[in-house]
Chains A and B, each alone.
Chain A
């Protein structure tokens, strides 16, 4: 019988939540790596028992953990992320130039075809790849060496590469996003990159329509339609129909278009989800009500999804990597909060229930649909 496995990264460890396809009763596994920050963990689409986890600590640095049994057991693999060549410099908060310095892995993206190939988006922003199951890592340095690199600068959370999207129709094409540099695309498997930020408008930077410098929070792509991208920017929900060559705003009737995660229904590529947050200076839900917004029209027309979610006195945030969908019928939608709740909807967002309520602050949520 099919089921789902929800992989939850938190400030104090990782948790593995499992259920059958009904998604009513859940087993909670973990914590794994107790006391460490788990920015992200994700499974291979080729081998669902192969998982990768980013484990880090302000004291002891970065570890990458790998599981070959669906998260029951783990082994540390390689943790050396050395920038290629002389790292160069990027812009710091005070406008000075500062050398690139590895801090942590924000996002792990396993290959669509090989369980031993995995990409890592890191802070300070760069993209690394391992072809040996995480034992060794090599930078795809063309990204960081883009001529705009010295102009990139950190967002409030650090200069992180947080989004890695692999195009299932074109193995040479990868999309990435950096806070606060923007979105980039390669069409030659990572050798060269181009900024794809035309149409973005950010009033928080000196030139609101600059080629780079935008604080992109998250990008989502439906595998059946990889040229259509949806973006939650610092402010604004955006859409591209040409693989990022141009973007237009689809915030429509959202109560606020600030937020972090964005995701797409597994079977309806025009159905998208966001979690509006009050503002860039107040990272809380508007009016104390935790609401997911769903558009069934690819943006612009949004409906609030509230059934089962707290509609008073709620002041949690939902971070950029903390929403995911399963591919069961009907589509399950999941998100985790900074208050430690992981909510699940087994009916595409119509109703919600917490799987767990009292985890540490949730940093990431990924979902595997198991055969």
Chain B
């Protein structure tokens, strides 16, 4: 079981409160976690990563265990603490003004 924290606007879209908990097929990677998020909440397709290229949207960041994982390869294993559900995988809207 993976714990995922969504940013406020995406929690509103997905109509969830707080963390979401998801079962992930296979190894816990950015790709498998995002696939699980999108399968559970189809409205989030395209909101975190591009529909076609599957690339992270430019102003979305991925944090976990006090590290910025945004630039890690999408198939790199996530930290054990995320894979075991000890720590959440954070999907974050990048800081920006306006």
Question: CB within 8 Å of B: which residues of A?
Answer: 35-36, 57-63, 76, 79-80, 82
Contacts and interface: CB of A to CB of B under 8 A. Distances in A.
A57 B51 CA distance: 15
B45 A79 contact: yes
Interface SS of A by simple majority: loop
A213 B96 CA distance: 34
Given A59-B59, A63-B13, A76 B43 contact: yes
Contacts of B52: 82
Nearest to A75: B43
Given A35-B9, A36-B9, A76-B13, A60 B45 contact: no
B13 to A, nearest CB: 6
B9 A60 contact: yes
Given A80-B51, A82-B51, A57 B43 contact: no
A82 B53 CA distance: 11
Given A36-B9, A63-B13, A76-B13, A58 B47 contact: no
A60 B93 CA distance: 8
Interface in B1-43: 7, 9-10, 13, 43
Contacts of A60: 7, 9-10, 13, 47-48, 57, 60, 93
A7 to B, nearest CB: 20
Contacts of B48: 60
Interface of B: 7, 9-10, 13, 43, 45-48, 51-52, 57, 59-60, 93-94, 96
Contacts of B13: 60, 63, 76
Pairs of residues from A and B, 8 with the lowest C-beta to C-beta distance, nearest first:
A60-B47, A59-B59, A59-B93, A76-B43, A80-B51, A79-B46, A61-B46, A61-B47
A35 B98 CA distance: 10
A80 B10 contact: no
A57 B48 CA distance: 11
B60 A80 contact: no
A58 B59 contact: yes
Contacts of B45: 79-80
Nearest to B49: A61
Given A80-B51, A82-B51, A62 B46 contact: yes
A62 B10 CA distance: 12
A82 B9 CA distance: 24
A79 B46 CA distance: 7
A240 to B, nearest CB: 38
Given A76-B43, A82-B52, 14 more contacts: A36-B9, A57-B9, A58-B59, A59-B59, A59-B60, A59-B96, A60-B7, A60-B48, A60-B57, A61-B57, A79-B51, A80-B45, A80-B46, A82-B51
